[in-house]
Amino acid sequence: MKKLVIYLMSGHGTPALAAAAAEGGANIVELGFPFSDPLADGPVIRRAAERALGEGMRTRACLDCLARTRELLPDTPLVPMTYAALLEAYGWDRFAADAREHGATALIVADLPAGDRPELRRIQLVAPTSTDARIRLAADRTDGWLYLVTVTGTTGARDDLSPALAGLVERARAVTDIPLYAGFGISTPAQARAAAELADGVVVGSRAVETAIEGPAALRSYVRSLRDALDAVAP
């Protein structure tokens, strides 16, 4: 079965939204820990981060959000996704330990390239611009699966699935057997299906964050449409 990863920004309503996403067929939920200056993110997630910070979603509140989500979803992998600035302030080791204690399965740091801080176990990202050597390094160091950034760009919906994904999958398959999940620029069921024809799973962020504004029912239905598209892919 192709995996579906849904990204949600931490917030007061996020545990219920994460539960709705899981009901809709999400296998993994990423929880954004907002940063004021998120370089990897396009306007949708940047604005969601601004709103979250405006409602007080600082690091400790995000950890509480994670713990409440874990209570609702005892078995779903939960992955905080954040920026180095938060870990620098909180303490790198302490953040990793506290995240795990609050229910995190793994961790993503959007601006900490593979090779830096090898002692911090995390899901590594590779991009179309990554060299083969860097893909190998990231695959060696990653925690569970490798995050393929499908576009040369920031997060956010695109009209078409990135043509760079096929080549990136091919290069990653040449160096690793670990699962490859594709994200950035995937928002429609058709794009999710096309990406899943190549990769082992897909990550959907910006459109999920937009849909979540309409509430758990809308999110569940949207995630279900993605799930159905993935289930139509031959295993």
Q: How near is the Cβ of 36 to other proteins at its closest, in Å? A: 5
How far is C-alpha 98 from the geometric centre of its chain's CA atoms?
19
Please, which residue, 39 or 97, has the CB nearer to other proteins?
Answer: 39
Residues annotated catalytic, as ranges: 30, 41
Please, which residue, 27 or 187, has the CB nearer to other proteins?
Answer: 187
Please, which residue, 42 or 103, has the CB nearer to other proteins?
Answer: 42
Q: What does each C-alpha distance from 101 to 20, 64, 94, 95 come to in angstroms?
A: 23, 11, 10, 10
Residues that bind other proteins (CB under 8 A): 35-37, 39-40, 42, 46-47, 50, 53, 58-59, 83-90, 110-114, 116, 124-131, 134, 138, 149, 151-154
For residue 18, what are its two tokens?
A: 């994460």
Q: How near is the Cβ of 92 to other proteins at its closest, in Å? A: 11
Q: How near is the Cβ of 234 to other proteins at its closest, in Å? A: 30
Please, which residue, 47 or 224, has the CB nearer to other proteins?
Answer: 47
Q: How near is the Cβ of 10 to other proteins at its closest, in Å? A: 13
